[in-house]
Structure 1
């Protein structure tokens, strides 16, 4: 990962040099317009593609972990193409400069082919890693879901939800509030300076008016929960008897929550809703007078 800038920069330099070689080749061996169109221009475009790939690797953090893999594919493919070209032209009577430019063409084509394979390989590994992470998070959620169903009160449900958000869903902070739509109390929080009389209260009221178990990613007071810091805030309202609880999750490094985050957040909310329903039912039964 630490070599990403060097690898991307190397690709940019290589692409520029290969493009210059193509121009020199055309100037050294002037030919008809068709040769320029079908021989020189395509290889200049290939060189430009290599430069673009290098810039992308430098600028896109997604390729940081796989930069070495991508360049390995590119170098290996370029060497293979040049080796095949050398074997084919080993007994050729062509001039040395012609063979040099031919080897450059072969290396350029091979380098781009390797880059394409490397990028595909990197994306495949990224997809697999994402699926594995999602599976691990879902597995953790299901384990906590069983524990949530054993909760005896709203405080224990809140504590477990906060724990799941922090340690399973990798949130940077979480809040669990309980109220009747007008007044709210903070049951648990890992965020500093949150107050139901301020942004948190406004956000809770807005969320409670929305459809239950549906995630909100923006609304009044959401930025205030993060104290104006960049990032994103998720909220989901959950029924609790005649009242409502709202679960908030804060991500400072996530500008826009993706589908995976929202889906897992709603799965947690569904587990919490089941647990709260059981808690409410048990409380109602405890309040009922015993039959004479």
Structure 2
């Protein structure tokens, strides 16, 4: 039994026990059905609400991280209300022969305290969960802002590039900085050949990188993640970024990743912006005289 089911079962059993105690106390105090319903049913339903909370906690993963916190609130509420009941009875100096009535009052207080503590615990767990989501969103926004600032610097550097080799170096550095990828290559996909201009990838992957780059150059997507049989062995996935231009040669950034998960929307937008900066520069370089990249279109 995992932790979630253990906590859920505990809440469920306690709820059933409290409901049973309330009904037992109601029948002990009177034999009138209406009196039993009025006196015992509300507290019995409160006890059963704990069982429902236990079923919910056992079947839902939403609050699994906060189960000890919810249980602590439930125990704290129970002890608090039980203490209040004990102090009240003591202050009233319960006389001999009224001990049974004292147990009824104590059981009522325990039931109410357990339910109140559980409700407060669930509310507290929701508050903690909401705070963590806000913190995660803040961290994500700050990370995006830092990456966007770095990309802006690479955009200015790309605008001043005078050779394809400089563009490839800036693109590799920018891609590695944005996604923390250490193995990246810049491949020029031409009508006949596919040279690798710059690379930090193992030489054993060169032929497969050329094949992936050519496939990416013919794809409509600017940013794509390749996995499965099309990537080298022992590689989770390969990321490609197509650099469109007006020449027959298409630049493609190829990066090896250690995960097959898709990249985030924010990272995809930043990569598309990097591709836009690099594409404009490549168009200028490929169209200029003496660059050695023929325009066969």
Interval containing the TM-score (normalised by the shorter chain): 0.7 to 0.9
Aligned residues, how many? 262
CA contact (8 A) 1:144 1:164 kept: yes
What residue in structure 2 maps to residue 29 of structure 1? 22
Q: Is 2:190 the counterpart of 1:184? A: no
**What does the per-residue CA deviation read over 1:230-268, in whole Å, with 9 as the maximum and x for residues that have no partner?**
245333243263311111233323422231221111111
- Superposition CA RMSD, Å: 3.6
Listed as ranges, the gaps of 5+ residues in structure 2 are: 24-35, 90-101, 293-297
What residue in structure 1 maps to residue 13 of structure 2? 20
What residue in structure 1 maps to residue 205 of structure 2? 194
What residue in structure 2 maps to residue 141 of structure 1? 151
Q: Is 2:59 the counterpart of 1:47? A: no
**What does the per-residue CA deviation read over 1:163-209, in whole Å, with 9 as the maximum and x for residues that have no partner?**
1111232235322101313310111222222223xx32322222222
What residue in structure 1 maps to residue 264 of structure 2? 258
Tell me whether 240-249 or 145-154 shows the greater mean CA deviation: 240-249
Q: How far apart are the structure 2 equivalents of 1:24 and 1:36?
A: 12
Q: How far apart are the structure 2 equivalents of 1:248 and 1:225?
A: 11
With structure 2 as the length reference, what TM-score do the two structures score? Answer: 0.72
What residue in structure 1 maps to residue 142 of structure 2? 132
Listed as ranges, the gaps of 5+ residues in structure 1 are: 1-7, 59-66, 288-292
CA contact (8 A) 1:46 1:109 kept: no
Bigger-Rg structure (1/2): 2
- Provide the secondary structure at the position in 1 that maps to 2:263: coil
Q: 1:179 to 1:134 in 2, by over 3 A?
A: same
With structure 1 as the length reference, what TM-score do the two structures score? Answer: 0.73
CA contact (8 A) 1:78 1:107 kept: yes
Tell me whether 77-86 or 181-190 shows the greater mean CA deviation: 77-86
Tell me whether 71-80 or 256-265 shows the greater mean CA deviation: 71-80
Q: How far apart are the structure 2 equivalents of 1:275 and 1:249?
A: 21
CA contact (8 A) 1:85 1:103 kept: yes
**What does the per-residue CA deviation read over 1:82-109, in whole Å, with 9 as the maximum and x for residues that have no partner?**
6985798664765323322322111111
